[in-house]
Chain A
Amino acid sequence: MSDPILRLEGVCTNIAQYHILQGVELEVPRGAVTMLLGRNGVGKTTTLRTIIGHWRAHKGRVLLDGQDITHMPTPAIARTGVGFVPEDMGIFANLTVEENMVLAAVSGPIDSARLDWVFQAFPPLKTFWKSEAGNLSGGQKQMLSIARAMVEERRLYLIDEPTKGLAPAIVSTMARALRELKAQGASILLVEQNFSVARALGDTACVMDDGRIVWSGAMSELATDAGLQERLMGLSMDAH
C-alpha cells in the first residue's frame, strides 16, 4: 500500500487499568473507505478515539500524512482536517440544526454549494434547519452528526457505527450519503457492525480482536470468502 493518509504503528492504549489497544498496526489508504470490523469490545471505538486524541496512546505512533499526531491535543488534530462522528452522535441538543452545522464549520462560513450537497444527502436537515437538534428523531440526529463532519472537506473522516440502532430506511439513507462522500474521493475509516453496509461501502477492511488487527486486506476478498469471515468472526466468538 503506497502513501496511506493514516498509519498507526504499534499503538497501545490503556484506559484506567485496562489494556484496550495492544499494538494496533493499521493503514488507511488515501481516497478509499477502510472498514474497521470486529465484535463488540475489541477496541474499534478506542482506536478511533486514540486517533482523534481523546485517549492517549502510551506506546506507538499515529501518523497523519506522515505527521506525528500522537501527542497533539484533540482540537489541533481536528483542525488538521480530521472529521469525527462518534458512536453516540454527540449532537448539541439545545442548539438548532443550523447552529450545530455552523459550529462544525471551523474554518469559516459554510460553503453554500457544500451545504446544498449535504441537504441532498439528508433532506430532513433542510426541513428542520431552524429546529432544536434535541427535537429530532434518532435517525435525523445521526444524519446531523454525519452532516457536521461532511459540512467541510476533511482530509480524513473517522465514523463510528453510523447505522447502529437505525431503521432500515434510515440505514439506506446513511449508506447512500457515505457512498456520495466516497465518490468525492474522501478518505474514510469506518467502524460498522452491519456487514451488508460494510460490504457495500468498503474498499479495504481490517478486522480487530483483543486490541489488535488480526486481518487486513481487500473488502472484496473478505466479502466473497465465507470461510474467511467464519474464521475471523468465529475466532472472536470462540475466543470469548
Chain B
Amino acid sequence: MIKAVLSGDMPRSVVLASILGLILFCLALAPFLFPGVRTVDTAARICVFVVLVASYDLLLGYGGIVSFAHTMFFGIGAYGVALASTHLGRGFDALAGGALAGAGVAAALAFVIGLFSLRVRAIFFAMITLAVASAVAVLVSQLSGLTGGEDGLTFQTPRELGPAFKFGDELFGVKLNGKLLSYYLVFTGSLILFLLMLRVVNSPFGRVLQAIRENDFRAEAIGYRVVRYRVAATCLSAAVAALAGSLYAIWLRYVGPDTTLSMEIMIDILLMVVIGGMGTMYGAVIGATVLVLAQNYLQNLMGAAGSAIEGLPVLPQLLDADRWLLWLGVLFILSVYFFPTGIVGRLRRS
C-alpha cells in the first residue's frame, strides 16, 4: 500500500524514512501540535515549498535543466488566483479557475521558452529563463492597475477559508475555524502534488529524463527525442510550480512581487534542492523543511544561545541574533561540504 502510494520509490534508509515520517506527522498535525499563528504559517510555507522545490527538482535533478524562471511560474499561479478572486468574486470556483488558468499560462509560457531555447546548449536556456523572469518581474511591477504593482494584491478567499468562519468549538484547544480549513487545503493540495511528482519521476517518462540528463546523445541514439522530453518536463514543472503558487496565495490571501517573484525565492529554491539532494524528490521535503525552519527560527535559536552563554568571551558576539544570515551561510557551506549529494543522497548511501 505505502509502496504503491510512493510509486515504488521507497526512502531506502531507516533514518531517512524516520525523518520523512516525522516531517509528515508534524505537518499533518501542525495546528494541533504547534498552535500559534507563526508556527502554522511556517508549516504552510514548508508545504508549499516542498511542492515548489520538488517541481524544480524535476527540472534540475531529473532533467539536468538549469532554469531561473521558476519563481516566475510560481508567481503566475499566485497572481492567477489573486486576479480571479479579485475579478470573479470570493468563491471556490474563482480559486479553482485562477489556479488552473495560472497553471495553463505557466505551462504555455514554459512551452514557448523551451521550444526556442532547449534545442541548444543548456546554458542558453538558463540565460533565457533569467531574462524572461526579470522581464516578467518588471512587467508585474509596472502594470500596477492590474497587479497592484510593488504593493501587490490583497484579495478575499471564500468565507469558509477565513478565520471568521467557525465550524465547531475547539478540538484539543484549537479553534475549528476557516484558517484551519485553509491550512488543510494547503497541506492536502501539497501532498497530492508531491505524490504526483513522485509518480512522474518513477514513470517511464521520468526514467527517460534521467537518461537524458546522464547522456543526451546516448538517449537520442536509443530513439528518444531529447527536446520533446525536455520541453514536456519544463511544462510540467512550470504547471506544478504555478499550482504551488496558487496554494501560497490562498494561504496568504495576498500576492506581491516580493512574496512570489523575487530572485531571493529562486536562490532559496536552489539552496533547498542542493541541501536536500538533487534528483531524489525526498530531498525537496528535507531541503524545504531545513531551510524554512532555519529562516524562521535560526534567529530566535541564536538569540537564546547567545543569552545562555552570556559572560563568555567572543562567543556571545558570534551568536548574536543579528548574525543569523551569516550562520545560515555557514550551514549551507557545511551541508554542501559534508553532503555533496545532499542529505538524502548521503543517508541513502550510508
Binding site for B on A (CB under 8 A): 52, 54, 73-75, 78-79, 84, 86, 90-95, 99, 102-104, 106, 148
Contacts and interface: CB of A to CB of B under 8 A. Distances in A.
Nearest to A52: B221
B231 to A, nearest CB: 14
Given A73-B225, A104-B222, A92 B217 contact: no
A86 B207 contact: no
B317 to A, nearest CB: 45
A106 B221 contact: no
- Chain B interface main SS type: helix
Contacts of B226: 75
B225 A106 contact: no
Interface in B219-253: 219-226
Interface stretch (B66-74, B190-198, B208-216): B208-216
B218 interface: yes
Nearest to A99: B207
Contacts of B218: 86, 90-92
Q: How large is the interface on B (under 10, 10 to 19, 20 to 34, 35 or more residues)?
A: 10 to 19
Given A92-B210, A95-B210, A99-B207, A78 B217 contact: no
B279 interface: yes
A95 B220 contact: no
Contact of B225 (A52, A75, A90): A75
B225 A92 contact: no
Contacts of A95: 207, 210-211, 214
A105 to B, nearest CB: 9
A86 B226 CA distance: 18
A94 B210 contact: yes
A148 B207 contact: no
Contact of B208 (A54, A86, A91, A103): A103
20 contacts: A52-B221, A54-B221, A73-B220, A73-B225, A75-B225, A78-B220, A78-B221, A78-B223, A79-B223, A86-B218, A90-B215, A92-B214, A92-B218, A93-B214, A95-B207, A95-B211, A103-B204, A103-B219, A104-B222, A106-B223
Contact of A103 (B217, B220, B222): B222
Contacts of A86: 217-218, 221
